[in-house]
Amino acid sequence: MAEEVTAGVTNISGTVERITYRNQSNSYTVAEVKLPGETVTVVGMLPFLTEGDCAVFYGEYTVHPTYGRQFKAESFERKTPENAAAVLRYLSSGAIRGVGPATAQRIVEKFGTDTLEIIQNRPQELASIKGISLSKAKAISEEYNKQYGVRDIMLMLSKYNVTPDRCLNIFKHFGAQSVDTIKKNPYVLCEEGLDFRFETAEDIAADIDFDKQSELRITAGLEYVLRKNLLNGHTCLPRTKLLEVACRLLECSPDTAENACDRLIECFRIKEKNVMGVEYLSIPAYYSAEEHIAARLLAVKRYIDRSITADALEIDNVERQLGIKFEELQRKAITEAFESGILVLTGGPGTGKTTTLNAIIKLFENRGLEPELAAPTGRAAKRMTELTGREAKTIHRLLEVEWTDGDRQQFSRNEKNPLSSEVIIIDEASMIDALLFDNLLKALRLSCRIILVGDSDQLPSIGAGNVLGDILASDMFPSIRLNKVFRQASKSMIITNAHAIINGEPPDFSNKNSDCFFLKRTSRADVSRTVTELVSERLPAAYNFDPIRDIQVLCPSRLLDTGTVNLNNMLQTVLNPDTGRKAQLSYKGIYFRVGDKVMQTKNNYDLQYKRDGGEYGTGVFNGDVGYITDIDKRGGIMTVRFDDRTVTYFSEDLSQLEPAYAVTVHKSQGSEYDCVVLPLYDVPTRLRYRNLLYTAVTRAKKLLVAVGDEGIWLEMAANDRKTLRYTFLKQFLKEADVYAAGNIGS
């Protein structure tokens, strides 16, 4: 048998007889490989391995409990076929798209053992064969070179745990020169679209002795800090702060960072703006987005048709139809919705936002104007549909999101193909980030009225920007804040305490028969144990809640005993334990089992789903919660159900999921739960502020149980510090307004 053992690793050489299984997404392959004297089953991540390949496999023999003796390959190296027969077998296998057995026969008959060299380097010669055009010859060559190009990338990056999908993405960016490009500058991997961690680029750079003082490294580090802070919500950073962080990351002098920063500005890779004597720096795409948002909003404000109004009699008629009596601010909001191009409607729970919104919709419909309803997330859109009785879409679905060949997101609806909407109403507007809002505005006609509905006291968007907050702070557009809690809502202590938080007042937990409780505990272990008991036993027994589907634990942070990581482990152990009979997959120490509640942690517009009615589509979004329904352990495939959609995940997609028995308050935005359990103990100081507590409390529909230190509740309610975000939008709005006023005056 062709076998060698080196340093505990077994190497086997042979010819691939048959591919019996392949997961197209993660390249997990089961192959029958012919060795001298026997045929061996080889398994592993083996991208582009095809029938007819001569290859060396590196790994070890294992015994599978079902499939018996196998060779588990950690890597492989393809060898050039040694004779014309082997070349023919390789090409006839369908390894290269566009080459079938008949075409393969004609090519090998003409070029023999030179066939693969011709395909790789001189494809035009293939066109001399009948049935192969010059364009087809080039396509064959491109496919062949792509396979080898991705293979070379994988061989280079395998030690850094880079997945096949990410290697393919690199190839799409840099083509056949990918390996050379990375060797010349490993930091290109941190560019937008590839988005590698800076630490990974540093590891590669160290291995190839890349100069740590290289300007390529310094400029890449500066851009990386800006992009990383997008994840913290900032669309820009003060120059001094950027340089301070970059110097620590790069271990370079301030002068070195300053000079590199100046060069980035000079070549327009970073945009600068002076605001009240402070220099701020931004990624160009975000600078342009906020600048365009400001210009567009002010254009809508000026352009809108003011002949369309809602008079008092019409509002009275709607009151009679709905059987209600509007408060003064509600009537004002209805009037402004017609008279203004842009309206912001805000207010806390129980203040009548939904009632007001339904009246606005009704009046527009009476005028023959059909409002378009949308929300930033699927859950928020679903809730909007339930509250209004009309279809609401996610903004992505409304804009008809799609992906380019280069795996970049784009929207079919844009300036060249705008929506026909005359009125658009966006719910949960606090969750809209700058880029998404910019794309929405690009797809709207200037004549379209825009109504933004949200709760300004909640946390800002997960994505970069502070769109709703900046619009309100600019004071340039009509905004109505509903503040009266209606009688029915006032009976709920959840709503009462939510408003107390906003006013910085102490909570009321005195009513033992209410829907809002606080259980005092004096240690981390006591808090985590109580939370686990509440979810698994006490609340299901007392209220008939499903412990997985009806109860949600919301944590201020991920860390310590009372954070999501530890509580997810504890809750999974009691709610969905490892019995040995349930299929499971693991990723970086996290075990996913059939029946687990999981959350998508990033927007993935390319994940395919199937709706219950048979409709196919793509897109799963940050914050979507689902349940694992099936696991194919051998293929590394997992099926997750999100409401009425079923999504298939492959092993490399598992990084996008995390257990969701406990989630952070930030991740809960736009969602509501029958019951919320809120651990409040050893909350990091930086998270002890009012709108985080308020957001957590207002997620509960029927019951809220807080556990821990009541003093932390009081401290958070008293701290009215808003989440700090560095953005340009407010400033752009003020500048654009001044400019427009000057032009009008002239």
If 0-12 CB within 10 Å is exposed, 13-18 middle and 19+ buried, where does residue 662 land? buried
pLDDT band, residue 8 (cuts 50/70/90)? very low
Q: What's the mean pLDDT in 521-536?
A: 95
Q: How many CB atoms lie within 10 A of CB 494?
A: 21
Q: What's the mean pLDDT in 81-93?
A: 76
Residue 720: predicted pLDDT: 83
Please say if the pLDDT value at position 205 is more than 50.
yes
Share of the chain above pLDDT 70, in %: 93
Angle at the Cα of 365 (from 359 to 368), degrees rounded to 5?
155
Q: What's the mean pLDDT in 517-542?
A: 94
pLDDT band, residue 742 (cuts 50/70/90)? very low
Q: What's the mean pLDDT in 418-440?
A: 93
Please say if the pLDDT value at position 351 is more than 90.
no
Stretch among 340-354, 402-416, 491-505 having the lowest mean pLDDT: 402-416
Please say if the pLDDT value at position 743 is more than 70.
no
pLDDT band, residue 6 (cuts 50/70/90)? very low
Torsion sign over Cα 146, 151, 152, 158: positive
Residue 5: predicted pLDDT: 44
Q: What's the mean pLDDT in 426-455?
A: 93
Residue 26: predicted pLDDT: 61
Please say if the pLDDT value at position 120 is more than 90.
no
Q: Find which of 137-141, 616-620, 678-682 is predicted with most confidence, using mean pLDDT.
A: 678-682
Predicted confidence (pLDDT) per residue in 159-191, tens digit: 787 776 678 788 888 887 888 999 999 999 998
Structure tokens at 380: 């928020």
Residue 741: predicted pLDDT: 47
Q: What's the mean pLDDT in 620-640?
A: 83
**Cα–Cα distance measured from residue 134 to residue 6, given in angstroms and rounded to the nearest whole number:** 46
pTM score, whole prediction: 0.77
Predicted confidence (pLDDT) per residue in 457-511, tens digit: 888 888 899 999 999 999 999 999 998 877 565 678 999 899 899 888 889 888 8
Residue 269 DSSP class: S
Residue 1: predicted pLDDT: 42
| Mean pLDDT estimate for the chain | 86
Please compute, for residue 711, the number of CA atoms within 13 A of its CA located in the half-sphere on the CB side.
6
- Helix 710-718 vs helix 493-502: crossing angle, to nearest 10: 50
Residue 65: predicted pLDDT: 76
Please say if the pLDDT value at position 2 is more than 60.
no
The answer to whether the CB of 648 falls within 8 A of the CB of 620 is no
Residue 635: predicted pLDDT: 67
pLDDT band, residue 609 (cuts 50/70/90)? confident
Share of the chain above pLDDT 90, in %: 42
Predicted confidence (pLDDT) per residue in 225-256, tens digit: 999 999 889 999 999 999 999 999 999 999 99
**Cα–Cα distance measured from residue 642 to residue 660, given in angstroms and rounded to the nearest whole number:** 13
**Cα–Cα distance measured from residue 170 to residue 155, given in angstroms and rounded to the nearest whole number:** 13
Residue 173: predicted pLDDT: 84
pLDDT band, residue 266 (cuts 50/70/90)? very high
